[in-house]
Structures are given as C-alpha cells and as structure tokens.
Amino acid sequence: MFSNRLLLFGLFYLRLISTFYGIISDCDEVFNYWEPLNFMLRGFGKQTWEYSPEYAIRSWSYLVPLWIAGYPPLFLDIPSYYFFYFFRLLLVIFSLVAEVKLYHSLKKNVSSKISFWYLLFTTVAPGMSHSTIALLPSSFAMVCHTFAIRYVIDYLQLPTLMRTIRETAAISPAHKQQLANSLNNSSQYLIVAKAVFWYTVGGLLGWPFALALALPFAITIFVRKVYYKELHQLAVIGALSVFIVLLILAYVVQIDSICYNKTELIPLNIVLYNVLNTDDSVGPDIFGTEPVSYYILNLLLNFNFLALLGYASLPLLLIFNFLPDFNLRSSNVKLFGHEGGSNKLITLFAPLYLWSVIFFTQPHKEERFLYPIYPLITLGAAFATHQLIRIPSLLSTVFIPNKRVLHKAINLTIIILFSSFIVVISVLRVFALISHYSAPLFVYQHLDQFASDTPKNVCVGREWYHYPSSFFLPPSMRLRFVRSGFSGMLPGDFDESVSRLSSMSNIPRELYNNKNLFESDKVIPFEECDFYVDISKAVDSEQKEIAILAPSYSDQDPAVLLDDWSLVHCDKFIDQDHSRGLGRILYLPKRFHRKMKTNLRYQHYCLLKKKSS
C-alpha cells in the first residue's frame, strides 16, 4: 500500500490547491457570508434580505470567530483579496484537523486498512475539495459532523475496551473492576460530551437541520442505558447534554440579539422559514425546484463511484456480517467485528440515510444541502471497499490453493488498480472545475492595480452571480448592479453612513422582500459605471442586456463594442451550452480531445475599464 504519510501530504497539498484555485460554486456563499464578513471587517458590502431584522434568518454568530481572526491582518498593507484566501486557509485548517483526527481514530479503533481507504477517499474526492473551502453553514456543519463521528466511534469502542480489560489475565480482579468502572463513567461522559458539543456547534452555530445527524447516536445511548438499566448514567448524560446545548445557544442568541437589536433565535427562524411558514409565494421553493436526479447527478460528479459505495456500505456490511468468511471479524476490524457489530454499524451510518430521506424529498434542492453527510459517504466507501476488495483474494485461495505469494500479488494488484482509478478520475474532476470555472477569482484581482482614494463603481449585469465577494475590491470601490435578464431580488448595500451595528439592525422594511421580487432601487444606470465585468457571449436584447463585448470563442481577446471602454484582463470560462464530451467533467489535455470525442468552447470572462474614469 501507499505510505499513509504520503497520503497525508497529498491531503494537505490538494487542500492548498483548493484554497487558492478552487471555485465558489454557489452565489449564496458570497452574498450571505463573504459579503457580511467583509462588512464586519472593512465596513462595506452587499446585504441580502435574509439579514433584514424583519426576517432574520442568517446568524451573525457564525461569522464572529472569523471576524476576530481577521482583525489583526487589517493592519497589514496587503491587497484586500489576500483576506479572502486567508479565511479560506483557516477553513481548510479546520477541516484538515477534523479529517486527520477521524483518520487516527479509525486507525486506532477500527482498522488500519479502513483508515487508509478513508484517508485516500477524503483526500481526492472532488466534493471534499470544494466543500471544505466553502464559507457556508452546511460546510461548517460537515466539519463539525466529522469531529462528532470520531467521538461516536470512541463511544462505540467502550464496550470492546471493557471486554478486553476483563479478559486480560495479567490484571487483578479488583483492578479490572476499577478500570471498567472508570471507562464506564468518566471516560463515557467525556466522550459523549465531546460528541454532543460538536453536534450542537454544527447545528446551532452552523445549520440547525444538522442536529438531525445526532438522532441515531442519541437513540443508541437512550436504548442502551434503558436496556441495561443504567438510568443514573442516562440522567447524567442528559443533564450534561442540556448544559452544553444551553451554553452554545446562549452564545448564539446573545450575538444575534446584539446584531439585530432584538432577541432572536435564528436557528428556530431558519426552521420556521424553510418548513412551516411556506406557501406559493414565500419559502425556499420560490428559488427553484429540482427532481431527485439532481442530487444523484451531483453525488456522482462529486464522488464518482465512491458515492455508490458509500450508500451501499451499510446494506453490504450487514449482509457480510452473516457470512463467516466475509464478515468484519474475519477481516480483523476491531470495533465492528465483535458482538453487537451490526448495531454499531447502524448507529454510525444511519445519519447518511436519514439525511438523504429528508433532503431528497424536498422540492428545493441545492448541492450544499448534502455537505453534512459527505464524511459518511467517504467513510462508508472506505468500509465497503475494504470488504469488497477481499472477495477476489478469497476466491483466489479457493481456485488457486497453496499459492500465498500469488494471492498477495493478486490482492495488491487490485488495490493499486482501484486506487489509481479513483485517484485519477477524482483529481481530473477537481482540475476540470478549476480550469473551466475559476476565471472570476483571477479577473477581479486586477482591480487592485486601480486602487485610489476616488470612489469607483464596479458594475455587473448578467454575471452578478459569479462575483467572488467584495474582498476583491480596493477600499474605494463598490459593487453595483445594472439591469440584465435577472428578474429576482438582488442584494442591496449595508448602510455606510452609520455605525456597523446600526447598519445591521436598523434597516427600513421597504428595502427588502422575501418573495424574490425585483427591486429597481438595487440597480444603477450603466453610465455611472467605472468598471464592468462581463462574458463574451451574445446578449439578450429583449432583456435590455448591455452589449459591451463581441461574442468570441477564439484565443484572442474579444473586441470591445463601446468606444469609451477598454479591456483590462480576460480569462477563459467554459461555455457549457456549446461544449461536448468527457472533457466537460474531467480535465483532459488538448491532445486527447479528439480521441475522447471532446469539443470544448471557451468564452472570455473580462474586466473592462471606462477610459474616462
């Protein structure tokens, strides 16, 4: 097998690539999180209706830790977009710690082979590459869930440890009882407290729906304590859990009540908005609905065959546990190979299926809604791979007996081929996303060369949803919208004429609506623009879109159609509608395009400057 140290290095390296080159896959990330964070630090930014005190369905408490971390670098003389990458790096470090801790827990408590597969899959999976860099509550909940899984495994390991102590002849009976009691009390309480902490932080500080992930673990504890009549321990765990929840909830309510200037319970507001207070004109469904196939396709793009293995893991493992030659005990899996292993597997993987049932049945679907179960997909794929990879080896011992060297060679060959296949298609997917869609990150960086004390308007029309955030704007520049084909609700601006706290809490009700209705005060005339960002494709004249670039697919920069404007910088951006072949989803060097029947067409994503500005 590959060295685990090499895999750890690969994990760090690929996460760094994602930090500096990974795309922003959702405009909600920019306008609901990067923009408020920029406002907290730099005093300006776009504001969405979700932050209006009238609706209050976004929590400031989620951003406060990053705001504190970002305050010291404010005194450095650096381009503003460095902050963007600084925060991304913090997010990546947070996720790396969680992934590495889970890896070590698997190696210690479960199996070194399963830990290897988990580390490999979490390193290369395209879904992990962009979810770990996303400034989103669902991404935060995903990382918290990764921490929690580690402690769930530790808790499930306790009975095995106690059995080992009782069966160890070198320990005196009195000492055995003392050790067992210690494990069953203090260690148990500490492990459960840590698991509850991470579930609660992910749910209350991140995304409240993520609390559902804790249900199987909570049910397991309750059933076990009632069955063994350990009601005192159940009471202690219950009291400890309530204390942790109230402590974290107090922080969330305190921060949000200060920012909104009224008592608010944002997690409850989010649930009410998305579940109870919905109709044909209000609620998540007004932003679009998708069939179940939307999630299936996204999972296949983000995890390829690992998605199938992840979802098949629990059924496969439960079936294998009834087969003496294929169960987890026969493969030396420490935790799940003993008595009660099937129940432990259900506790561990039930959140994957519970979450899928909840969100697959919702009409409004977003890729980010599945982030919290990404760790279980890679973990489930690791378990399934570990078991399935044994089948050829066991068959070879039947049909080619007494050939141990040959058996090992067959097993090693299968491992190398499968690992290489997963690594190649996963990494090619990651690099395809970077190659095809990263232009906005690099085009907006060129605004820094025009930094001055004079206020300037940086305008976008139809490309508003690819805006990478106001961290890419020098202090004197502001993002403005001009009319385009978009007819929904555009973000407004935080009020810069008052204190930041007043701007958060005192917003006129007439400025925003929660029905995704267009508001004309959110756009300005094109004549007031000093810079403009657009793409070189034909405009929709019926929607009064501004034709500033000639449609172009060549390697040369596109022609500018307005005399008073000039190009500053362009990068390529794939035209999905006119591109065909495997190269759309996997990165392929040009020399392979013809062989793979790939035809990619790129437009130019450009920054333009008004000559008179």
Position 244 pLDDT exceeds 70: yes
Under a CB-based contact definition with an 8 Å cutoff, are residues 341 and 266 in contact?
no
H helix and E strand count, the chain = 21, 7
pLDDT for the residue numbered 510 = 73
User: To the nearest whole percent, how much of the chain has pLDDT over 90?
Assistant: 76
Segment (H or E) for 460: strand 456-460
pLDDT given at position 180? 58
Render 404-457 in DSSP notation, one character per residue.
Answer: HHHHHHHHHHHHHHHHHHHHHHHHHHHHHHHHHH-HHHHHGGGGGGG--SS-EE
Can you give the residue ranges of every domain in the chain?
4-436, 440-610
- Cα-Cα-Cα-Cα dihedral of 346, 348, 354, 359, to 10°? -150
pLDDT (average), residues 527-538: 96
Strands (E), 42-194: 46-47
What's the CA gap between 145 and 156, in Å, rounded? Answer: 16
DSSP helix/strand/coil, 311: helix
How does pLDDT run across 63-90, given as a tens digit for each residue? 999 999 999 998 899 999 999 999 999 9
Measure the CA–CA gap between 561 and 134, rounded to whole angstroms: 36
pLDDT tier for residue 168 given thresholds of 50, 70 and 90: low
On the question of pLDDT at 444 being above 90, the answer is yes
pLDDT of residue 178: 58
Type and span of the H or E element at 157: helix 137-167
Q: What is the CA radius of gyration of the chain?
A: 27
* 531-535 sheet: strands from edge to edge: 477-481, 456-460, 531-535, 602-610, 565-574
* DSSP helix/strand/coil, 458: strand
Distances (CA, A) of 27 to 24, 59, 88, 571: 7, 18, 16, 20
pLDDT-derived band at 359, boundaries 50, 70, 90: very high
Rounded distance between C-alpha atoms, residue 123 and residue 14, angstroms:
7
Q: Is 322 exposed, middle or buried (0-12, 13-18, 19+ CB in 10 A)?
A: exposed
pLDDT at 169 over 60: no
Q: What is the mean pLDDT of residues 124-139?
A: 98
pLDDT at 301: 97
Break the chain down into helix, strand, coil percent, rounded to 5.
Answer: 65, 5, 30
The Cα-based distances of 98 to 40, 144, 148, 310, 584 in angstroms read 27, 8, 9, 19, 32
> pLDDT of 19-35, one tens digit each?
999 999 999 999 999 99
| Band of pLDDT at residue 165, cut at 50, 70 and 90 | low
Q: Is 224 helix (H, G, I), strand (E, B) or coil?
A: helix
Average pLDDT score over residue span 406-419: 88
Residue that the structure tokens 């990458």 belong to: 85
For residues 197 and 152, is the Cβ–Cβ distance under 8 A?
A: no
Q: What is the mean predicted confidence (pLDDT) over 445-452?
A: 96
Categorize the per-residue pLDDT at 339 as very low, low, confident or very high, splitting at 50, 70 and 90.
low
Nearest to 259 by CA among 44, 53, 35, 33: 53
Q: Classify 604 as helix, strand or coil.
A: strand
Arithmetic mean of pLDDT, 286-315: 96
Provide long-range contacts, Cβ within 8 A and 24+ apart, for 260-268: 260/53, 260/56, 260/60, 260/504, 260/505, 261/53, 261/501, 261/504, 261/505, 261/506, 262/53, 262/505, 264/56, 266/56, 266/57, 266/58, 266/59, 266/61, 267/59, 267/203, 267/204, 267/208, 268/208
Residue 328 is predicted with a pLDDT of 72
pLDDT band at 167; cut points 50, 70, 90: low
- More confident: 400 or 216: 216
| CA separation, residue 18 to residues 21, 373, 374, 421 (Å) | 5, 20, 17, 21
DSSP 184: I
Q: Each residue of 558-584: pLDDT tens digit?
A: 999 999 999 999 999 999 999 999 999
pLDDT attached to residue 398: 67
Please state which of the ranges 102-116, 311-325, 402-416, 474-488 shows the lowest mean pLDDT.
402-416
> Is the pLDDT assigned to residue 145 strictly greater than 60?
yes
CA pair distance 154, 110, nearest whole angstrom: 10
The pTM for the full model equals 0.95
Pick the closest to residue 208 from 275, 278, 271, 283 (CA basis). 271
